Amino acid sequence: MNKIVLITGATSGIGLACARKFAANGDRLILTGRNEQRLEEISKELTAKGTQVITLAFDVRDREKATQCIESLPAEWKEIDVLINNAGLALGLEPEYEGSYDDWDIMVDTNIKGLLTMTRLVVPGMVQRDRGHIINVGSVAGDAAYANGNVYCATKSAVKTITDGLRIDVANTAIRVTNLKPGLVETNFSNTRFHGDTERAANVYKGIKPLTGDDIADVAVFAANAPEHVQIAEILVLATHQGSGSVIVRQNQ
C-alpha cells in the first residue's frame, strides 16, 4: 500500500536520496527543508515522474513554524505513515575545550530538539490511528565518541536513546521505530562540518569508497516496507573498510 512519507532535511544528501527512493516506491511525499527554492526544484523533478509531493519550508529548530506547517497540511495529507527524522548536521572538529558555542547550539537544537519537535507533532496521530513508522537517522557516532567529535557524537547518542525510549512508549501500538545509523557517507555533510572548506571535506573520503545517500535510502525503504510484524529497531550501515566511527582503513595512502 502506498504511504504518506514525511522527510525532514529533504533538500540534499540522505534526505534527498530518501525522497527519490520513496517516490520510486510509489509513495506520496511531504518534503521539508530550509531552502524553499530547492524544495520547489525537487518537487518539480518528482512530480514530473508522477509522484504526489507537498513541500514545507521551515527549519526544524523553529518549533512555532514547524507546528504551523504541519497543522496547515490538507486533510488528505494529515495521516502520515512514515516520519523520517533526517535533518541534522555536524559542525566543527575541534577538541571539546576549544569548541564553538554557536556550533554546539545549532547541533543540539537541530539534531536533538528538532527531532523531538517533529516527533511530538506527528506521532500522536500515528498513536490515534494505531499505525505508523518513525525512522530516525542516527549515526555510528552515537555508538562511541571519536576524537574531536565530542558534541556531535553526544547528539547522535541522544538520538539512539530517544529512539529507544519512543519504541518502548509505543510498544502497545502497531507503530514501528527504527534507528538508522550510517557510517561514512559522501554527501555535503563534511563540507558543512568544515564550514565550506571543500578541500578539507574532500580529504575525509580519500582512500576509501564511502557510502552514498542512495545506500542509506535503500535501507530506509526496506525497513518501511518490511512485514507489519517486523520492526527493524536499529541498523548500522558502514562502508566496507570502516570498522567503527574511528576505524577507517584507507588504501594507497
Distance between terminal CA atoms of the chain? Answer: 48
Helices (H), 146-212: 150-169, 189-193, 198-203
- Of the listed ranges 83-92, 185-194, 223-232, the one predicted with least confidence: 185-194
Sheet holding 53-57, edge to edge: 53-57, 28-33, 4-7, 82-85, 133-137, 176-182, 234-237
Q: In the structure, what pLDDT confidence band is assigned to residue 253 with cuts at 50, 70 and 90?
A: low
Could you read off the pLDDT of 169-185 as tens digits, one per residue?
999 999 999 999 999 99
Q: How far apart are CA 9 and CA 137, in angstroms?
A: 11
Active site residues: 152
Chain mean pLDDT for the chain: 95
- Higher-pLDDT residue of 206, 236: 236
Q: Which domains does the chain have, with CATH numbers?
A: 4-237 (3.40.50.720)
pLDDT for 1 = 72
CB 15 within 8 A of CB 7: yes
Q: Using only C-alpha atoms, what is the Rg of the chain?
A: 18
Could you read off the pLDDT of 108-127 as tens digits, one per residue?
999 999 999 999 999 999 99
Burial class of residue 11, CB neighbours in 10 A (0-12, 13-18, 19+)? buried
Q: How far apart are CA 207 and CA 204, in angstroms?
A: 9
pLDDT for 198 = 80
pLDDT for 92 = 94
Query: Is residue 9 scored above 70 in pLDDT?
Result: yes
Query: Is residue 211 scored above 80 in pLDDT?
Result: yes
Query: Is residue 197 scored above 80 in pLDDT?
Result: no
CB 16 within 8 A of CB 45: no
Nearest residue to 89 (alpha-carbon basis) of 26, 144, 8: 8
